[in-house]
């Protein structure tokens, strides 16, 4: 590969849709590469709105009807009894249960270290201003079912909520033919400390948690991944309940310098591209030689992957293999692109990290595989996508608390403040405010 390649003229046989330099991308127009925002068609939005209205109106009956029509399951009850989901979880292979528990321990340790702390400051003598983190009363975890089973996402949502001190954590997940969610999801619920589990899926489950039904209580915040209908439902209920950051397809940007292990970089590309045909993967190399080595590595791996079709579709539609003049230029591109995951496959990743501003999570070196963060390091994998890392952070205990501020003013301080407050209030034409202040002014 040479730097003369442009996004409009990819190398024949290249796995990546875009090949060239970061300057080529800018010159050719970068809409296809940068337009990753979550988009939902009118049919999805309209159908979702109808489901939400049904659940708000008919409650449990609507959820049972949806389970029968969408999942083919006739539910006798929506709530899964604690004994039943503990029994279902017991059939999960012991080694898998052990892996879940290890991931849970690490997530708990990390998020306990990040637990928000109260603070108090004396802004001037006798004037005390404080801020206290208060946990939400109840939160809901959505856990997909069917073809997409993500027990790790249950851990990532429930454990930070538990660490934050949330009073009650509920989980909704689509039912299997047994009438209960998949055993692996129930195992994750038990390991992560979920309080109640309900057999409900899709937009109906989101509506139930947002507004409450006869069986499912209303929550203060809903988190967790899902399909387009789940995403649409979360956006439509967001004015009535809290949600996590709107999430789209997974993303990875890798910066690889001349010392990078090209085979390891190729493996990371393949691992993340298997998520979904809409996954966005960008590799920025600091030389044509490294870029060519990564390209060869990817092409050697893909034919032997079980999800080869998905990987090829992802890289062919939303993959980019680019060359930058140096690591600093690559980081500038990354800060603009704002990836969900950023892997720094460079000689000094710690130094490079100092210049990173917009990324959901940053992995330092190829031994810090992105998949480790997906599951077991303790960092949260619920992360902003579509460029939202410019304004959102990954899920944490901060998402499960609200802040109560308080103020205390002593008698002496009140007399000191009163005159200036009265002046400010009068300037804003609020005489009642001014009079309240003057009452405390020195006579």
> Which sequence positions are flagged as catalytic?
340-341
Taking CA atoms, 90 is separated from 26, 79, 95, 424, in Å, by: 54, 19, 12, 66
In angstroms, rounded to a whole number, what is the distance separating the alpha carbons of residues 434 and 285?
63
180 neighbors 87 (Cβ within 8 angstroms): no
Tokens of 299: 């092409």
The two tokens of residue 179 are: 């009438």
* Token reading at 376: 């077991």
**DSSP, res 10:** P
Q: How far is CA 370 from the centre of its chain?
A: 15
**What is the spatial distance between Cα 243 and Cα 222, in angstroms, rounded to a whole number?**
5
| Radius of gyration, CA atoms only, the chain | 26
Q: Which two tokens stand for residue 239?
A: 């004015």
Cβ(197)–Cβ(85) below 8 Å: yes
Residue 326 DSSP label: S
Give the span between the Cα atoms of 233 and 209, in whole angstroms. Answer: 11
Cα separation, 293 vs 256, whole angstroms: 11
Burial class of residue 98 in the structure, from the number of CB atoms within 10 Å of its CB (0-12 exposed, 13-18 middle, 19+ buried): exposed
Report the C-alpha gap between 296 and 394 in whole angstroms: 33
**Residue 304: Cβ-neighbour burial (10 angstroms; 0-12, 13-18, 19+):** exposed
Task: Locate 11 and state its tokens.
Answer: 């190398």
Please state at what angle helix 82-90 crosses helix 183-192, rounded to 10 degrees. Answer: 110
E strands, 70-175, in order: 79-80, 119-124, 127-135, 138-142, 168-173
């Amino acid at each position: 590969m040479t730097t003369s390649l442009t996004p409009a003229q990819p190398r024949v046989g290249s796995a990546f849709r875009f090949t060239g330099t970061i300057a080529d991308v800018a010159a050719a127009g970068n809409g296809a590469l940068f337009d990753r925002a979550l988009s939902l068609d009118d049919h999805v939005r309209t159908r979702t709105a109808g489901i939400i209205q049904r659940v708000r109106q008919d409650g449990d009956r609507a959820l049972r009807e949806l389970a029968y029509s969408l999942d083919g399951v006739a539910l006798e009850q929506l709530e899964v009894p604690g004994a039943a989901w503990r029994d279902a979880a017991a059939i999960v292979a012991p080694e898998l249960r052990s892996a879940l528990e290890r991931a849970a321990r690490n997530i708990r340790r990390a998020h306990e270290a990040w637990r928000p702390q109260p603070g108090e400051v004396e802004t001037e003598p006798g004037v005390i201003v404080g801020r206290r983190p208060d946990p939400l009363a109840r939160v809901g975890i959505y856990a997909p079912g069917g073809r997409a089973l993500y027990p790790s996402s249950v851990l990532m949502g429930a454990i930070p909520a538990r660490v934050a001190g949330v009073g009650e954590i509920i989980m909704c997940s689509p039912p299997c033919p047994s009438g209960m969610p998949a055993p692996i999801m129930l195992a994750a619920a038990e390991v992560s400390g979920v309080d109640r589990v309900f057999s409900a899926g899709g937009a109906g489950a989101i509506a139930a948690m947002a507004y409450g039904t006869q069986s499912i209580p209303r929550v203060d915040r809903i988190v967790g991944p899902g399909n387009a209908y789940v995403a649409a439902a979360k956006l439509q209920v967001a004015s009535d309940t809290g949600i996590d950051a709107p999430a789209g397809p997974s993303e990875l940007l890798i910066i690889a310098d001349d010392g990078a292990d090209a085979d390891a970089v190729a493996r990371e590309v393949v691992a993340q591209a298997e998520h979904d045909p809409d996954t966005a993967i960008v590799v920025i190399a600091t030389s044509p030689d490294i870029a060519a080595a990564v390209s060869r590595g990817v092409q050697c791996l893909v034919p032997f992957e079980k999800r080869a079709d998905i990987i090829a579709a992802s890289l062919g539609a939303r993959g980019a293999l680019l060359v930058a003049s140096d690591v600093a230029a690559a980081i500038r591109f990354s800060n603009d692109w704002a990836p969900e995951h950023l892997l720094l496959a460079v000689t000094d990743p710690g130094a490079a990290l100092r210049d990173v501003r917009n990324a959901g999570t940053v992995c330092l070196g190829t031994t810090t595989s992105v998949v480790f963060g997906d599951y077991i390091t303790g960092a949260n994998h619920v992360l902003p996508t579509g460029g939202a890392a410019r304004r959102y952070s990954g899920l944490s205990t901060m998402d499960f608390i609200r802040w109560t501020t308080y103020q205390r003013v002593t008698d002496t301080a009140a007399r000191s403040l009163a005159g200036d407050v009265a002046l400010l209030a009068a300037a804003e034409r609020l005489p009642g405010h001014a009079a309240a202040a003057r009452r405390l002014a020195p006579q």
